[in-house]
Structure 1
């Protein structure tokens, strides 16, 4: 599955969340619509559903890789670049996948897919997208908080995800959510990734109470 994630432009309407109507707040304390509901979705209902992922970026992070060190330098494009691709949800190879949707006024505003990686006890966010018309409304923050809570429930030592060096807005968002760059792959998508300014970046955040070098499962 192509994991170049985190933005989209398709909206499914007519679905409603369960539970009481409550007023939510985003990370900055801004009040959100009382009809915003985040709920777990049925895996089989959404398996194989295809979405178009779209984002616009003003620049990219250029990698300067040397024998014993590397550095990142932000560079602007001459004009904002719009990128898009399609991808489907819930690949068969995922281990114990979960799927959450954010619904505003009955419309699917965002979706997040995750799964455990038991071999190293990490929780991976495989897909994370907020549809274009619902961005910058605090919905992504709430959806990410739910995914991080799921990782804690799974007793994962870390939560990790993949993004690209050209997805500047996504990188900034993940950093605000507590993620940091933990690795990269210069040639994940093609042999020209560095020249294209689209290098795979791994980001991660350690569960509270654990250092980044810990390997033991959480006790609580």
Structure 2
């Protein structure tokens, strides 16, 4: 259910509906990232979702599939959500930036972090997603998502597990991006970080009521 107490600022010239926004985003030229990406990767999930999960940007597999969180980090995300008792199909999942930013390295495309200008440009779409969905809670998966949701740089590792309140009243839960877990080489450290991420998702579940 949407939260009627939260009023999001709809950007001037915004689409009349979420489906229209998704369609318009396919030809987005608000920054230069579209030039090398395969396609726009818009968010997905029900418009009635109580919670919106916001990641950084699509990865290589997301860019090819046109869907968010379907690569290795997405599979980690899905598994932890399930353990926490959160049904992903009842949540809305998106990214701060809707095009894959990468550096070619041989035949591989290596993820490259979006800059502040790209995050600001793509906030046009994120603001519309928030306006149409009106979630009770937003979950920032990593620093880029936190910056997109709050408009400022946030030290996620120091403030992890906290909820920041935006000017419009929306709470933003801070945690890591699941890709962080995948980058840990030591097995014990990886298991410990996964367990901590699970506790974060259990806290999200509790906040969802």
TM-score (norm. length: structure 1): 0.32
Q: Which has the larger radius of gyration?
A: 1
Give the structure, 1 or 2, with the largest relative contact order (CA under 8 Å, sep 6 or more): 2
Normalising to structure 2: TM-score of the pair?
0.33
